[in-house]
C-alpha cells in the first residue's frame, strides 16, 4: 500500500469515526503500515477533518521521514502493535464513552465477551459461544513503559484484535481498512451492549473470567 492510499483511507475513516463520537476533543490517532514505512496522524488535530498535512511519515525505527507536524504522543504504541501483529496494516485508536467506562468498571486484566452474535465481526471468531477476550492495561503517561507492558503480555497471550487502555480507549488493528473499520464498529457495538447488560447484573465480579 502506498502512503497516499493509506492517508486517503484514514481521512475517510476519520470522518466516519468522528460522526460516531469516538474521537472527541482532538482525541484519538490513526496509523497505517505502508510499503515503505508508517504514516501516523499528527497531534492536536480534529480527527474528523484530517488532511494530508496532518500526517507524518515514519521509518521502520519510528524516526520522522516527512511531515512538519508533531507526531502523536502515542506513536510508540502504534509501532508496537505493528511489531507484535505482522498482519496488522492499520491501527485505529479511539475514545468512546463505552470503551472508557467499561475499561474502568471491569477491574480485571481483560474484558471477556461471550454470548453475542456480533463477536463474529472480529477476525477468526466463528461462534457466540467463543470467549472474545480484549486485554485491559492500566493507563500510563509513559508510553514506552505502556508499550513494553503490551509487548510482554503478548508473549504469553497473543493480542489478536486490539487492546483497551483503562479510562483511555481502544486500539484496534486490521489487515486492511475494511477489516479495521468493521472490527472497530463491532467492538464498539459490543462495548455498548456489555455496558448496558452489566447494569442488570449486580454482579460485576462474575463478568471478569
- Binding residues (CB under 8 A) for a copy of itself: these are 24-27, 95, 97, 100-101, 104-105, 115-118, 121, 126-129, 139, 141, 165-169, 182-183, 185-186, 188-189, 192-193, 195-200, 204
Smallest gap from Cβ 63 to a copy of itself, in A, equals 25
Smallest gap from Cβ 183 to a copy of itself, in A, equals 8
Smallest gap from Cβ 98 to a copy of itself, in A, equals 8
Pick the closer one to a copy of itself by CB: 31 or 103. Answer: 103
Pick the closer one to a copy of itself by CB: 86 or 117. Answer: 117
Pick the closer one to a copy of itself by CB: 34 or 139. Answer: 139
Strands annotated E in 87-176: 90-94, 110-113, 132-137, 162-165, 169-174
Smallest gap from Cβ 21 to a copy of itself, in A, equals 8
Q: How far is CA 9 from CA 23, 30, 103, 127, 135, in A?
A: 17, 10, 28, 30, 27
Pick the closer one to a copy of itself by CB: 11 or 170. Answer: 170
> Within the chain, where are the H helices?
3-20, 75-84, 97-105, 143-156, 177-198
> How do beta strands 169-174 and 38-41 pair?
unpaired
Pick the closer one to a copy of itself by CB: 147 or 183. Answer: 183
Q: How far is CA 95 from CA 17, 22, 126, 167, in A?
A: 10, 5, 27, 9
**What SS3 state is found at 92?**
strand
Amino acid at each position: 500500500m502506498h502512503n497516499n492510499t493509506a492517508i486517503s483511507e484514514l481521512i475517510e475513516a476519520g470522518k466516519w469515526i468522528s460522526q460516531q463520537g469516538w474521537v472527541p476533543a482532538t482525541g484519538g490517532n490513526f496509523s497505517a503500515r505502508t510499503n515503505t514505512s508508517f504514516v501516523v496522524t499528527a497531534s492536536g488535530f480534529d480527527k474528523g477533518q484530517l488532511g494530508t498535512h496532518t500526517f507524518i511519515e515514519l521509518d521502520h525505527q519510528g524516526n520522522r521521514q516527512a511531515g512538519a507536524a508533531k507526531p502523536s504522543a502515542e506513536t510508540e504504541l502504534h509501532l508496537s502493535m505493528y511489531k507484535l501483529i505482522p498482519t496488522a496494516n492499520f491501527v485505529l485508536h479511539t475514545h468512546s464513552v463505552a470503551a472508557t467506562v467499561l475499561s474502568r468498571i471491569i477491574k480485571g486484566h481483560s474484558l471477556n465477551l461471550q454470548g453475542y452474535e456480533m463477536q463474529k465481526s472480529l477476525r477468526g471468531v466463528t461462534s457466540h459461544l467463543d470467549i472474545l477476550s480484549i486485554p485491559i492495561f492500566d493507563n500510563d503517561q509513559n508510553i514506552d513503559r505502556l508499550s513494553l507492558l503490551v509487548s510482554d503480555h503478548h508473549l504469553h497471550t497473543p493480542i489478536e484484535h486490539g487492546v483497551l487502555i483503562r479510562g483511555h480507549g481502544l486500539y484496534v488493528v486490521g489487515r486492511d481498512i475494511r477489516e479495521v473499520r468493521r472490527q472497530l464498529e463491532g467492538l464498539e457495538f459490543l462495548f455498548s451492549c456489555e455496558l448496558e447488560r452489566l447494569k442488570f447484573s449486580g454482579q460485576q465480579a462474575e463478568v471478569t473470567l
